[in-house]
Amino acid sequence: MNFLKNIISSALGVFIGFGLLSIFIISIAIAFGDDTETVVSENSVLTIQLEAIIKDFAPQEFDPFGEVFGTANKYIGLNTLVKAIEDAAKDPRIKGISIETNQLQGGISQLGSIRNAIAAFQTSGKFVYAYADNYDQKNYYLSSIADSIFVSPVGMVDFKGLSSEILFFKDFQDKYGVKMEVIRHGKYKSAVEPFLDNKLSDANRSQMESLLHSLWNELVGVISISRDITIAELNAIADNAMGRTATLSVKHRLVDKVLYKDMYDSRIKSVLNVDELKSVTLMEYMTSTIEMPINTKENSVAVLYAQGDIIYGEGDEETIGQGLFVKELNKIREDNNVKAVVLRVNSPGGSALASDLIWRALEMVKTEKPLVVSMGDYAASGGYYISCNANKVFAEPTTITGSIGVFGIMPNVSELTNKMGIHSEQVATNKGPSYSPFKPIDKAFYTLTQESVDQVYTTFVGNVSKGRGMTFDQVHALAQGRVWTGEQAYENGLVDAVGGLDDAIAYAASLAEVDDYEVLNFPNYDKDLRESLMGIPFMSVKNKLLKEWVGKEHFELFQRLNKLREEKGIQMRIPFVLNIQ
């Protein structure tokens, strides 16, 4: 009896102790939280650094444990970022922009939207300068919009063209007896190709070359205009690494002058005719200008942000789950003040089942209100599936879309366990084929699964053909898992127009025949305290330490492989994710 009392007392003590610790941590976070309001001085310069991860939509939330342990997700929303730059153009206190980015954590299409916002800022007559110790290609793409570009004396511009590297695991599987059983439809569906071969297939190499060249042509096209350098010259610079030193970068007009940072600051002070440089970071300026949206107008346009992998489940800030999205779509559909809907998609796809359930909810919205899609960096496979039925589809020129194909993937360790002397037997009530990772895949099970994959592919192509007003054969010719840029998708009919989110919102409002409207952002990611406490803070700490240990690029590879391992059911997923530096 005393033993039981001791156990209960110990458990109760741990629970109370954990509760007190949680209250203590929250108190510290609140006490040391930065509640000071940003004050913007006269003759200020807006400094754009963009150290946070850029997401299309990043609602602010209170995370006391993340603040204390330094593991809070540091996101910046593209929508609020662009709005802040637009506000700065009209703000008499802001005299110019200084782009001082280092390693940007955003996609090419996102950076294109920021670049366009800065270009609009320039029409106000205010200056835009850029400075960096070194420029990688993302940084240079954004900074090239500046009136003048400066680099440190020992810096460089790493301007070399685009490439994408894919790792192959077939020999690894053969050597260690750990393999992935793959069932697919679509000759371009190369998400699973690394498990089937040791090299690129001709079809995959063809689509990747086409994709990279299309993206590169878009990048050098806008850089050519901004820097007054011909596309042929830019390609020669990339071919011969003519930006590898600061001196060569100036010689070939990639940058305008070589300066140390203090000299750059002095130059800005001279332009402003001031003795002290007053600057405000974009993040600080956003807190001074961006307020919580309050719907004060009768009419509104709802923008629903679909960002991340599509999973079967509730979903959260990182993923698109049918649970949350169907609820939000039903709420939007039933709100009489919402006159039109814009779906902003930035997703490489994922679960076929979840994609179809979201597609159905969008179909129901479309029967009552105009539905317009705006594609961000990715709207591929499942991301394209949920986009294809809109009244109009807008894509950025650098959007990666299409990838209309399907696959299933299952881990199999039968060869490894046999080598280790581990064997399995199954007992069942019926004769239907089943799958076990400890036995070679059964031919009957493979056949049935292939039929399911083929059926999902047929549904995918059929829904696209209805949504796009094309025949099944026309879509099939563009499908089979092939990936296209937004520009290519516009040319082949998979999207209706090349444009950004603002274009999509304006078009949706015009379909609803409303001029005076408010933009409302969805979904609502509100969490209760119980959800906030789940996993604190050990999972975030583990990921942070692993990322610091193996490096950013290797950590991202680990995450992608881990996602493939965890995928369940038939997938509509892009074959690869491009990392462009």
Active site residues: 189, 381
Token pair of 464 as six digits? 């696209």
Dihedral sign, Cα of residue 204, residue 207, residue 211, residue 213: positive
Please give the Cα distance from 371 to 390 (Å, whole number): 5
Fill in the amino acid letter for 459.
T
Q: Of 393, 312, 310, nearest to 348 (Cα)?
A: 310
Neighbour-count burial for 517-554, b at 16+ CB within 10 Å, e otherwise: bbbbbbbeeeeeeeebbeebbeebeeeeeeeeeeeeee
Write the secondary structure of 383-442 as one string of H (helix), E (strand) and C (coil).
HHHCCCCCCEEEECCCCEEECCCEEEEEEECHHHHHHCCCCCCCCCCCCCCCCCCCCCCC
Torsion of CA 466, 468, 470, 476, to 10 degrees: -90
**Cα-atom radius of gyration of the chain, to the nearest Å?**
26
508 alpha carbon, distance to own chain's centre: 23
The Cα–Cα gap between 552 and 419 comes to 35
- Which strands, in side-by-side order, build the sheet including 94-99? 257-258, 148-151, 127-132, 94-99, 44-48, 278-281
Spatial separation of the C-alpha atoms in residues 86 and 98, rounded to whole Å? 15
Closest CA to 320 of 555, 522, 569, 106: 522
Question: Measuring CA to CA, how many Å separate 559 from each of 196, 315, 415, 426, 562?
Answer: 20, 18, 25, 33, 5
Starting at the edge strand that comes first in sequence, how are the strands of the sheet with 309-311 ordered?
A: 179-185, 406-412, 571-573, 349-351, 309-311, 319-321
Q: Are 574 and 348 in contact (CB under 8 A)?
A: yes
CA-CA distance, 403 to 204, in Å (whole number)? 12
**Torsion sign (Cα): 16, 22, 26, 27:** positive
The whole-angstrom separation of Cα 142 and Cα 140 is 5
Phi and psi (nearest 5°) for 475?
-70, -45
- 530-to-99, 327, 526, 536 alpha-carbon distances in Å: 41, 21, 12, 11
Q: How far apart are CA 426 and CA 412, in angstroms?
A: 16
Q: Determine if residue 196 is left, alpha or beta; phi over 0 gives left, psi from -120 to 50 gives alpha, anything else beta.
A: alpha
Residue 80's identity, in one-letter code, is: T
What is the distance between the alpha carbons of residues 407 and 572, in angstroms, rounded to a whole number? Answer: 7
The token pair that represents 439 in the structure block: 């036995």
CA dist 247 and 17 (Å) reads: 62
